[in-house]
Amino acid sequence: MVAVATTTLLVIGFGAGVATMWAFGPELRHLVAPALPGAAGTLHEPSGQERLSLLTEIWTILDREFYDPDALDDEKMTQGAAAGLVRSVGDPHTVYVEPLQAAIMDQEMQGSFEGIGVSVEMIEGRLVIVKPLPNSPAVEAGLRAGDTILAVDDEPLEGKSILEVVALIKGPRGTVVRLLVQREGTPEPFVVPVTRDKVEFPIIESRMLEGDIAYLRLKEFNAISQKRVRSALRELLADDPAGLVLDLRENPGGLLNMAVDIASEFLPEGTLILTEEQRDRAPMEYRVERGGIATSIPLVVLVNGGSASAAEIVAAAIRDSDRGILIGEQTFGKSAVQSTHKLSEGSSLRVTIAKWYPPSRKNLDAGGIEPDIQVVLSEEDLAMEKDGQLERAVAHLLNGE
């Protein structure tokens, strides 16, 4: 009789799907349905403490009853619960970041790290060096692009994620890491000892182009970006260029204050850069507070679908103030501002706390920024390493085309 009553409640609460499952075996009779409110009843709104108790209750039941206790990994369960809680708000930019990835991301935002200085990629489960960074310990040790790392300090890398491997390779400056390397054309793997050191991310690329046009590329907005941009601008402006190309293509953004500081290098004092709107606060305007060093040189900004967030702040401020034009492709479209909280066990929580708007007040989430002159790179251009967007920028600065 109890089983019949339980079945009835399950069908009422969850529909025909559970009724179908009932036909497959009596083991489902152990399920107990929650009490439902009566016709005049209302559901109880649980308190914060009761919600925490629910998680503890679930954890206790799994720990006591799950048929394979070896599959219960406390760390994975904790991370999964935390990630699920944050994911439930439905905002792609509000995220829980596990400790290992949080540590790596934090170092990247500082602009430097202690390690060997290589960019790597997982290809078919194997860690391959894409490029050793210039003047890095990896270059000094003789590592090359295309080398495959099989083990780190005698620990095989099979089955590890790229984040786990990066954590093994990084370490305090002055310490030595031994890498087992497989190189094409070399019959047997060999060990390469590398002495770790402080490595700075190469976020700036600058040079003079034909026609006396200066070129400056910024790859991300980290803690040292403004310092690097200002230094590069000084060197470029010393050659008295006829114009400047600021390349923000594939720049995913970064720190808001860096976006404001870097935009200020190109805009007159007092110019509006962006407006930020937070919950329960009056809108806040960010304006140029001090004169930059490149406020009058003819300017073109290159953008594409990889230009996001802080890169869009700078691009929009320059275009909306009629300081320069945008050439390339439509930007990514991210107007959310995140605050990062370091949590107790090393993880971090990134929470969207505000939206920002360019001087035009356009909502960038609806489609990013359309360039003034659209130039799409074709597959043929990419294969031939031809940069039609940069060529158009130079032509515009020289001839107004």
Quote the domain boundaries for residue 166: 112-200
The mean per-residue pLDDT over the stretch 127-140 comes to: 91
Distance of CA 375 to the CA centre of its chain: 26
Tell me which range, 46-55, 103-112, 241-250, 349-358, is most confidently predicted by mean pLDDT.
241-250
In a shared domain, residues 119 and 261: no
In a shared domain, residues 359 and 259: yes
For the question of residue 320 being annotated catalytic, the response is: yes
For the question of residue 309 being annotated catalytic, the response is: yes
In sequence order, what DSSP letters do the residues of 221-281 get, joined into one string? Answer: B-TTHHHHHHHHHHHHHTT--SEEEEE-TT---B-HHHHHHHHTTTS-TT-EEEEEEETTS
pLDDT band of 56, cuts 50, 70, 90: confident
Assess if residue 77 is contained within a domain: no
In a shared domain, residues 272 and 190: no
The mean per-residue pLDDT over the stretch 320-348 comes to: 92
In a shared domain, residues 277 and 261: yes
Amino acid 266 reads F
Mean pLDDT estimate for the chain: 85
Assess if residue 142 is contained within a domain: yes
pLDDT of residue 93: 87
Helix, coil or strand: residue 7: helix
Cα distance from N-terminal residue to C-terminal residue, the chain: 85
Let me know how many helices (H) and strands (E) the chain has, helices first: 12, 19
Assess if residue 35 is contained within a domain: no
Q: Which of 200, 218, 234 marks a domain boundary? A: 200
In a shared domain, residues 244 and 377: yes
pLDDT of residue 47: 67
Please give the residue that has the higher pLDDT: either 340 or 325: 325
pLDDT of residue 227: 94
In a shared domain, residues 276 and 336: yes
pLDDT band of 45, cuts 50, 70, 90: low
Candidates 219, 225, 307, 334; catalytic one: 334
Here the CATH number for the domain that contains residue 384 is 3.90.226.10
Candidates 136, 264, 307, 309; catalytic one: 309
In a shared domain, residues 270 and 323: yes
Candidates 264, 320, 335, 347; catalytic one: 320
For 288-311, the pLDDT digits (tens) are 998 899 999 999 999 999 999 999
pLDDT band of 346, cuts 50, 70, 90: confident
Of 32-36, 188-192, 273-277, 377-381, give the lowest mean pLDDT range: 32-36
In a shared domain, residues 304 and 377: yes
Q: Identify the CA nearest to 29 among candidates 7, 1, 11, 61.
A: 7
In a shared domain, residues 187 and 258: no
pLDDT band of 6, cuts 50, 70, 90: very low
Distance of CA 19 to the CA centre of its chain: 45
Assess if residue 67 is contained within a domain: no
In a shared domain, residues 140 and 263: no
In a shared domain, residues 172 and 151: yes
Q: Identify the CA nearest to 101 among candidates 150, 158, 179, 162.
A: 162
Assess if residue 41 is contained within a domain: no
For 58-84, the pLDDT digits (tens) are 888 888 988 898 888 888 888 888 888
For 8-25, the pLDDT digits (tens) are 333 333 333 433 333 334
Assess if residue 255 is contained within a domain: yes
In a shared domain, residues 220 and 194: no
The mean per-residue pLDDT over the stretch 111-135 comes to: 88
Assess if residue 44 is contained within a domain: no
pLDDT band of 31, cuts 50, 70, 90: very low
Q: Which of 200, 231, 250 marks a domain boundary? A: 200
Q: Which of 200, 221, 256 marks a domain boundary? A: 200
Here the CATH number for the domain that contains residue 127 is 2.30.42.10
Assess if residue 40 is contained within a domain: no
pLDDT above 60 (res 35): no
pLDDT of residue 310: 96
**Residue in the block written with tokens 């305090």:** 172
pLDDT of residue 370: 96
The tally of domains found in the chain comes to: 3
